[in-house]
Structure 1
């Protein structure tokens, strides 16, 4: 599935700024610890690294580098739970509505089912790569209310540093898709619910551009996200 590559397509306008790697790893999001702890199945789902995050403006802030550190334990049940929680915390911010919406994952599936799906999908990532893992999360290993915008965060943090196959996993959300919709005329990019072929194309385009410009693919993803925030 990853053997097909799409090259020569510019997905960033000329003059776009691609952030440095340190800027990407330092992308920090504030969170509300007490709110999340009240919504988790139990306190064992909370990674201790989040308690060591710096306080800025009265709120702790977690960055990508911290979540990458948490992801190193994703070969254990507890580590996968911590990774899922960290991805949700990093991706949700402090808005009560956003936190409540994403926490439905924990009330809509049993803990054994969550553990089983996380283990299976990340096993596919380790054995077969990002595209097959995307398909798994969208099908047999689907977790209710964990859509592509967030399960690609799990894949990204679990696999970007140690990719299997040609492509590193990358996050795909509505903001990134907005940039792709503006630049990629060959594929229709919906606001959500992206198919496996669409995810495969996104990885191909991002990796091609990363190779051409001498950066890592998540720097391209960060540039697409920044661009998408300014598009209507």
Structure 2
């Protein structure tokens, strides 16, 4: 069981949706299978200083068009872009997804995993991405982002998909919400299910949406040494 403190400082939903990350369009375009994978909606993102910034709201708009193979490709890219930033090493690492699988294989696995999300919910979709629909170099920290944007606002099951990454995990440990053996990455499906249970129970008790709890944990985790 994951139990969070009663006094976690929760952002409002607008602040969550406005969480924006800078990105380097030219660097990404060079690393994609072809230019059609690039979400054209990212061209509308505002420049802040040197770089444009994409927020959660923009990725949700892209995810709303993920009912086709092309739409799912763009959702995948948008989720990777939002979760990565502008550092060359980070972008190159994320783009390894496209080096080690064919477009057809990515299409098939992404489509199957999102079908599972719609039919059976977030935990089963997590299992799919971690097992029979695994895409090499697309680990839980990023495929939970794909699941989140694809399903948080329209999940049919009792639990909305929620992002779980190493930053959130550090916050869970700092809050004594998990035991000392809880990993910072590579979570099992049972561990993800426990996380979903804890986040949803806390969100319900506080009268907020699950991603507001996740965003609060992420903010805490970023401040930890």
TM-score normalised by L of structure 1: 0.94
Mapped contact 2:20–2:53 kept (Cα < 8 A) = yes
For 2:205, which of 200, 208, 212 is the aligned residue? Answer: 212
In structure 2, the residue matched to 1:3 is none
Q: CA 1:187/1:158 → structure 2, altered by over 3 Å: closer, same or farther?
A: farther
In structure 2, the residue matched to 1:197 is 190
Q: CA 1:187/1:139 → structure 2, altered by over 3 Å: closer, same or farther?
A: farther
Helix, strand or coil: the match of 2:72? helix
Q: CA 1:205/1:187 → structure 2, altered by over 3 Å: closer, same or farther?
A: farther
Q: CA 1:185/1:170 → structure 2, altered by over 3 Å: closer, same or farther?
A: closer
Answer with 168-177 or 15-24: which moved more. Answer: 15-24
Helix, strand or coil: the match of 2:183? coil
How far 1:151 sits from its partner (Å)? 0.2
Partners in 2 of 1:199 and 1:68 — Cα distance? Answer: 22
Mapped contact 2:173–2:179 kept (Cα < 8 A) = no
Mapped contact 1:71–1:83 kept (Cα < 8 A) = yes
Partners in 2 of 1:65 and 1:185 — Cα distance? Answer: 30
Matches within 5 A, 1:14-25: 14-25=6-17
For 2:43, which of 34, 38, 51 is the aligned residue? Answer: 51
CA-to-partner distance for each residue in 1:111-134, whole Å, 9 max, x for gaps?
Answer: 110000000000000100000000
Give ranges in structure 1 of 5+ residues lacking alignment: 1-5
For 1:79, which of 71, 86, 110 is the aligned residue? Answer: 71
Answer with 203-212 or 222-231: which moved more. Answer: 222-231
Answer with 174-183 or 17-26: which moved more. Answer: 174-183
How many residue pairs were aligned?
224
For 1:95, which of 75, 87, 101 is the aligned residue? Answer: 87
Partners in 1 of 2:26 and 2:140 — Cα distance? Answer: 26
Helix, strand or coil: the match of 2:167? helix
Q: CA 1:185/1:191 → structure 2, altered by over 3 Å: closer, same or farther?
A: closer
For 1:42, which of 20, 29, 34 is the aligned residue? Answer: 34
For 1:228, which of 208, 221, 225 is the aligned residue? Answer: 221
Q: CA 1:184/1:111 → structure 2, altered by over 3 Å: closer, same or farther?
A: same
Partners in 2 of 1:158 and 1:51 — Cα distance? Answer: 20
1:113 aligns with 2:105: yes
Mapped contact 1:54–1:60 kept (Cα < 8 A) = yes
Partners in 1 of 2:197 and 2:128 — Cα distance? Answer: 19
How far 1:10 sits from its partner (Å)? 3.3
Give ranges in structure 2 of 5+ residues lacking alignment: none
1:144 aligns with 2:136: yes
CA-to-partner distance for each residue in 1:29-69, whole Å, 9 max, x for gaps?
Answer: 00000000000000000011100000001210000000000
